[in-house]
Amino acid sequence: MPGKSKEVIDLSSTLPEIWRMLSDVERNLLRENARVLNFKKNELIYLEDEIPKDLMCLFKGKVKIYKSGVGGRSQIIRIIRPYMYFGYRAYFAREPYVTAASAFEACTVCMIPMELIETFLRKNGDLAMFFIQMLSVDLGIADQRVVNLTQKHVRGRLAESLIFLKESYGLEEDGATINIYLAREDLASLSNMTTSNAIRTLSNFVNERILAVDGRKIKIIDEERLRKISRIG
Amino acid sequence: MPGKSKEVIDLSSTLPEIWRMLSDVERNLLRENARVLNFKKNELIYLEDEIPKDLMCLFKGKVKIYKSGVGGRSQIIRIIRPYMYFGYRAYFAREPYVTAASAFEACTVCMIPMELIETFLRKNGDLAMFFIQMLSVDLGIADQRVVNLTQKHVRGRLAESLIFLKESYGLEEDGATINIYLAREDLASLSNMTTSNAIRTLSNFVNERILAVDGRKIKIIDEERLRKISRIG
DNA sequence: ATATATTTGTGTTTTAGAACATAGTTCTAT
DNA sequence: ATAGAACTATGTTCTAAAACACAAATATAT
């Protein structure tokens, strides 16, 4: 069970886009209804086929949104970093979740009832546009992803995922190590390949001096080359 | 150049969802700004990298939304049937188009300036929710599509496309012929395979008495089996 | 601390589907 | 009506990536 935190959170700084658009009355309602939950590493946040109830905002940690495909093979659809919103699409579509979400590492998530969000945005054009824009951006990314995952070869797909991880979570103090430690299996599921192929292609990149790998730590040595591999597929 | 039609269109019946949600003043504005254009078969409606300006509603005909991928290989992202809206995602995301649209067959399209739509929905929660819901449904479909196109085999992907075409455009009077005539190349681009493979797999389905094919006419003989192939991949 | 499970790494085999080649057929334009 | 282009069909070859098999290295739990 996820732990319920009772500490006081300053929503004006953690949910700035939404907070800014609300009236005082609405802000009070938000404060009263928002809950903050903690999840342990690998804990499930929501499951496929569940009924969506909350808008979620990741305060701390890393989350993967994934889908189980043909023959149980799972596929990471997107990854969430702090202060990104998630979990609202299915509610708006009036559908159960078609994806699941779980914590890559210990997480803190703010949950806000979707009913509340919907009443807010029905009266607030700016808030409505905020969600419309997020959905539109995500839909564009999904369309792009269809082409990338189906047309690029394994090297291109892995290179792309590594760059994506770097842009999402940034680098450590050394200016080279990607700031997320994934299992090879997750790297594979993000790049639509088998685990063996992720391992093999990663070793190839190391031999070609594009990366340096130490367990789950991945250092980008030659980003230019990595980007080129991603581009040409 | 697409032809500009001067005939009077009854927007209350062609754009019922939007019309219903507007005030009289807004309806007049809509009438004054909506244009109806005709496109010939294979004519381009919009192009990748263009700046999106209009919400489009297909009144007549069939439209494909596609993306050119790695090495010029093009991929159909979705297909539009009458009274579906399209062309608005990129505007909302504040991006140029990342897809192109062209007419499978002669089309009539209603164009409404996006600025107008945005001002409407900023004041109208129901209209905002209408777009939020459309985007949310489409995003769910795109997520599902990523898994289907990457994990299913050619037979599964083609079977799925055929069922999708049937559900989108329906059957002819004989209750079996899919009501759209696509080139094998388009069938391939919809199912993420090469044209040769689309042709070959289609012939296999004919040999297995799942389909009957006469040129571009495709008859579904054994829908149950087709659905099973689509399901198991 | 030690047993058990999970993850990583590598070599080998198999296969689905792309690429290529060629020919027949059906549109389309003048 | 006829030439050229585009589409459809089928056989053959080739290759990327999956599937499988087995160690070795780590992590996790008792």
- State how far the Cα of A57 lies from the Cα of A108, in Å rounded to an integer: 9
Q: How confident is the model at residue A6 (pLDDT cuts 50, 70, 90)?
A: low
Q: Is the CB of B192 under 7 A from strand C?
A: yes
Count how many Cα atoms sit within 13 Å of the Cα of residue A122 in the half-sphere of its side chain: 12
pLDDT band at B9 (very low <50, low <70, confident <90, very high): confident
pLDDT at A72 over 70: yes
Q: Is pLDDT at B72 greater than 90 in this prediction?
A: no
Of all residues in chain A, the percent with pLDDT exceeding 70 is 97
Query: pLDDT-derived band of residue B16, with 50, 70 and 90 as boundaries?
Result: confident
Mark out the alpha helices in chain B (DSSP H runs). Answer: 11-14, 16-20, 24-33, 89-93, 114-123, 125-151, 154-169, 184-191, 195-207, 223-232
Identify which of A95, A118, A146 has the shortest CB distance to residue B146.
A146
Alpha-carbon distances, residue B53 vs B65, B113, B178, B187 (angstroms): 16, 6, 33, 30
**What is the rounded average pLDDT of the residues B105-130?**
96
The answer to whether the CB atoms of B99 and A143 lie below 8 A apart is: yes
pLDDT exceeds cutoff 80 at B4: no
Share above pLDDT 90 across residues of chain B, in percent, rounded to a whole number: 91
Record the tokens describing residue B88, joined without a space: 């608005």
Q: Which nucleotides of D are covered by protein (CB under 7 A)?
A: 7-11, 16-21, 26-27
Q: Does A213 touch chain B (CB under 8 A)?
A: no
> What part of B 4-63 touches A (C-beta under 8 Å)?
none
Question: Model confidence over A47-60: pLDDT tens digits?
Answer: 999 999 999 999 99
pLDDT score for A73? 85
Query: Sorting pLDDT into bands at 50, 70 and 90, what band is A1?
Result: very low
For the cut 50, the answer to whether the pLDDT of residue A12 exceeds it is yes
Which backbone phi and psi does B22 adopt, to 5 degrees?
Answer: -100, 155
Mark yes or no for CB contact B144/A67 under 8 Å.
yes
Q: Which of A1-5, A210-214, B14-18 has the highest mean pLDDT?
A: A210-214
Of B92, B143, B232, the CB nearest to A136: B92
Whole-angstrom distance, CA of residue A45 vs CA of residue B53: 39
Q: How far is the CA of B196 from the C1' of D11 (A)?
A: 12
B142 and A147 within 8 Å at the Cβ level: the answer is no
Split at pLDDT 50, 70, 90, the class of B233 is confident
Distance of alpha carbon A186 from alpha carbon A216, whole angstroms: 11
Do B89 and A150 lie within an 8 Å CB cutoff?
Answer: no
Mean pLDDT of A115-120: 97
Task: Go through the domains of chain A in sequence order and give each one's CATH number.
Answer: 3-149 (2.60.120.10), 152-232 (1.10.10.10)
Which of B131, B136, B194 best probes binding to A when mutated, by most A CB atoms within 10 angstroms?
A: B136
Taking residues B66-77, report their average pLDDT. 88
Nearest to B140 among A71, A89, A146 (CB): A89
Overall average pLDDT of the A63-85 stretch:
92
Give the nearest chain A residue to B87 (CA atoms): A136
Report which of A97, A86, A83, A75 is spatially closest to residue A135, judged by C-alpha positions: A86
In angstroms, how far is D11 C1' from B39 CA? Answer: 40
Note the Cα B129 to chain centre separation in Å: 21
A67 pLDDT band (50/70/90 cuts)? very high
Q: How far is the CA of B193 from the C1' of D29 (A)?
A: 47
Instruction: Give strand letter and number of the nucleotide nearest B197 (CA to C1').
Output: C17
Q: What is the mean pLDDT of chain B?
A: 94
pLDDT tens digits, A134-158:
999 999 999 999 999 999 999 999 9
B74-80 and B63-68 strand pairing: antiparallel
* CA distances (Å), origin B68, targets A215, B45, B107, B138: 38, 15, 22, 20
**Tokens 């609300």, located at residue:** A22
Looking at chain B, the whole-number percentage of residues with pLDDT higher than 70 is: 97
Task: Determine, for residues A77 and B133 on separate chains, whether the beta-carbon distance falls below 8 Å.
Answer: no
CB under 8 Å to B121, separation ≥6 — which residues?
Answer: A125, A128, A129, A132, B127, B128, B130, B131
Using CB atoms, pick whichever of B73, B125, B151 lies closest to residue A70: B151
A191 contact partners, CB below 8 Å, separation of at least 6: A149, A154, A157, A158, A160, A161, A198
Which pLDDT does position A7 carry in this prediction?
A: 60
pLDDT grade for B202, boundaries at 50, 70 and 90: very high
The answer for A 113-152 residues in CB contact with B (under 8 A) is 118, 121-123, 125-126, 128-129, 131-133, 135-140, 142-152
Contact B156 A70 (CB under 8 A): yes
Average pLDDT over residues B83-92: 98
Select the residue from A136, A193, A194, A231 to test the B interface by mutation, using most B Cβ atoms within 10 A.
A136
Which bases along strand C come within 7 Å of a protein CB atom? 7-11, 16-21, 26-27
